[in-house]
Amino acid sequence: MPWAGARQAALIRVVDLRAMSDPVMKGDDPRYLGIAPYLYYTDATEAVEWLTRVLGFTEKVRYVDAAGEVFQATLSAGGSDIHLAGVGDEYWPAKGVDGPVGQLNVVYVDDVDVQYERVSEAVGETVEVSRPQDQPYGARLFTVQDIGGNSWTFWQHISDTAELPAGWRQIRSGDSDSASTADSADSADTAASADGADGVGSDTTDTAPGTPAPASES
């Protein structure tokens, strides 16, 4: 069921937000200027090469050791920064895991099919790439895992309507508790509204509450 993932406590890490003021903040409270992932890789030099070549990110700066190996770097996608660090071979085993867990990086694009073709051509048969699929929450997307085990979902907004399952309802901040209930997918005009994405790494979409983590094609 497309919404099954909504019941899981999956963390979706969005690549960046446009500089904004939180309406809740008052007086001298600071403004949010954005958010960016800080990702760990066993081999950061290899990660920089892969992320720029395969996903099309742009390298902004790298910090290297005496041997020329990257220990930190900053890339960009659209107007968003992506920070990464090299942690060596023992980092993940020491934590009892094989690699990154519990997070997903979402990158907003204006043409997800073109991005899919680019990624698929770059990786060939070496990496599994899920095909773009339309989702019931107004997005068309695909997911790929990079060489460090970090997952990237490329997301194109295609509809302002989300198809809520029977019995579900949308409640926005400030709404009264009388929000209408969606009795069926056909009555899903109670949909969440999403801001159109205008490029890689644009600001977040406003989807229905409990939006599931995008699932790879089975």
Residue written as token pair 């895992």: 145
Task: Find the angle CA(135)-CA(140)-CA(141) to the nearest 5 degrees.
Answer: 105
Model pLDDT, residue 177: 57
Render each residue's pLDDT in the chain as its tens digit; 218 residues: 444 443 333 333 444 444 444 556 667 889 999 999 999 999 999 999 999 999 999 999 999 999 999 999 999 999 999 999 999 999 999 999 999 988 899 999 999 999 999 999 999 988 999 999 999 999 999 999 999 999 999 999 999 888 889 999 888 888 765 544 444 444 444 333 334 344 444 333 344 434 444 444 44
Q: Kindly give, in sequence order, each residue whose CB lies less than 8 Å from that of residue 171, ignoring residues fewer than 6 positions away.
A: 177, 179, 209
DSSP state of 90: T
Q: Residue 6 has what pLDDT?
A: 39
Report pLDDT for 161.
Answer: 85
Q: What pLDDT is attached to residue 174?
A: 80
Domains and CATH numbers, the chain: 11-19+33-90+99-187 (3.10.180.10)
If you search the block for the tokens 């990158």, which residue do you land on? 107
User: Both tokens of residue 190?
Assistant: 């109670």
User: What is the 8-class DSSP label of residue 89?
Assistant: T
- Give residue 145's pLDDT: 94
